[in-house]
Structure 1
Amino acid sequence: MSLKIALTKGRIEEPVIALLSAAGVDCEPLKNKKRKLIVNTSDEKYEFILAKGPDVTTYLNSGVVDIGIVGSDILTEHRNNQYELLDLEIGKCQFVLASTEDFDINKEGRRVIGTKYPLITQKYFESLGQDVEVIKIEGSVELAPLIGLADAIVDITETGTTLRENNLYIYDYLDKVSTRFVVNRMSLKQNAREIYSLVDRLEQVIKANN
């Protein structure tokens, strides 16, 4: 029986596939998947489900996949309650508080903050003892302070290029983000040997790369 792995689509796909290949996983079907959303390895050891990050946590929690490969930002925002076994050290970036040049981080009064991550944002400002109104934004968060929708934003950035190109400045650094290997609790009980074997191989590759 194949281990079902939900893999986040997008920018982390290629480096994750390279890591899995180095760990001995047959990733040729993944590399040539075209528009397929479910891909089986030729040895039938693994079945990959390509999904958006938030859906990976949904699949894990519902038990329809054994393993999820997803960013720690998604895990935190969606209150992950499954087992996080390994930091793959891929897709590294960081949460930041950013806004326009005239933003005053110490200004009194209730401010409006735009973000894709309302839970993380709320917790951050609570830790500072500040009361804010959080507006969830699904698209380009950088627009919020530019069009007057919000006083500032909390978002993730890898290089800061998009912020700089839109004349936004970083006022504080929050948690760092990377891609994690997460396992459904029940699956770990039922498939412990296979799962830990894969984790061990991945860990060896990560150590060798560093």
Structure 2
Amino acid sequence: MTPAVQRGPDHLTLALPKGRILEEAVSLLSRAGLPLSLPERSRALRHEFPGVTVLELRNQDVPVYVDLGVADAGIVGKDVLVESGRAIYEPVDLRFAGCRLSLIREVGATGLIARVATKYPRSARAYLTSRGISAEVVRLSGNIELAALTGLADAVVDLVQTGSTLRANNLEEVEVLFHSSARLVVNRAALKLRRERLRPLIGRLRELTAVGVEDLQNP
């Protein structure tokens, strides 16, 4: 068990998502000056470090913990943040875990879209409304592409990274709703109460991500 530390007014609680974002998030935050080093194969959900507590959460729960003030800040994908509907301060695009949320159909499909399947109903409805499409939105949990292949839906809205799964299943992107990447999110009250910790962290992350962009542009 990780020993608890005494939490002062400058102590930060961070909400980080399990899965593909976690390792890169911890690495970036460490480079930004936070003393983080998560143990491998640990089943712990909360980790204590000097001045910092890390909560490991499901991706979809990060905006909730930050918005309600249980966590002072967190890292989450833009797709999850948009879908959550939470009005959270989003000061830094961390520029990793890039993907896009797209409308997907079978190659060559031309009929009207009457039903759309997705893990992202809020985003899908907003898109359909903006296009004047009055389609039914069906929420599914996994294998979204299968809904288009079996006729369950006329189209699906899902994340795309490389597009290899689409090509393997005779599917294509019809339109990109928006591009997504990992974002730093901050509780608005914490930004005032813990400004001496959060402001430098935000500044350092902006520097690190800006350097990353320059390195990509000038290899």
2:64, 2:86 within 8 Å by CA — same for their partners in 1?
Answer: no
TM-score (normalizing by structure 1): 0.91
- Describe the shift of the 1:33–1:45 C-alpha distance in structure 2 as closer, same or farther (beyond 3 A): farther
1:118 Cα offset (Å): 0.8
Is 1:164 matched up with 2:167?
yes
**Equivalents in 2 of 1:100, 1:163: separation in Å?**
9
For residues 134-153 of structure 1, what are the structure 2 equivalents within 5 Å? 134-153=137-156
For residues 102-117 of structure 1, what are the structure 2 equivalents within 5 Å? 102-104=108-110, 107-108=111-112, 111-117=114-120
For residues 7-22 of structure 1, what are the structure 2 equivalents within 5 Å? 7-22=16-31
Is 1:129 matched up with 2:132?
yes
Query: Kindly, what percent of the aligned residue pairs are identical?
Result: 37
1:51 Cα offset (Å): 0.6
C-alpha RMSD over aligned residues = 1.5
**AA aligned opposite 1:100:** E
1:98 Cα offset (Å): 0.9
TM-score (normalizing by structure 2): 0.88
**Equivalents in 2 of 1:164, 1:136: separation in Å?**
23
Gaps of 5+ in 2: 1-7, 214-219
Secondary structure of the residue that 1:146 maps to in structure 2? helix
**Equivalents in 1 of 2:171, 2:128: separation in Å?**
20
Gaps of 5+ in 1: none
Secondary structure of the residue that 1:12 maps to in structure 2? helix
**Equivalents in 2 of 1:166, 1:10: separation in Å?**
25
Structure 1 counterpart of 2:46 = 38
- TM-superposition CA deviations, 1:12-42 (whole Å, max 9, x none): 11221221122122222x154622111122x
Q: Which of residues 7, 12, 15 in structure 2 aligns to 1:3?
A: 12
Q: Which of residues 23, 26, 49 in structure 1 aligns to 2:35?
A: 26
**Equivalents in 1 of 2:211, 2:51: separation in Å?**
24
Aligned structure 1 segments of 4 or more residues deviating by more than 4 angstroms: none
Structure 2 counterpart of 1:86 = 92
- TM-superposition CA deviations, 1:143-173 (whole Å, max 9, x none): 1111221111011111111222222111111
- Describe the shift of the 1:31–1:205 C-alpha distance in structure 2 as closer, same or farther (beyond 3 A): farther
1:102 Cα offset (Å): 4.1
Secondary structure of the residue that 1:90 maps to in structure 2? coil
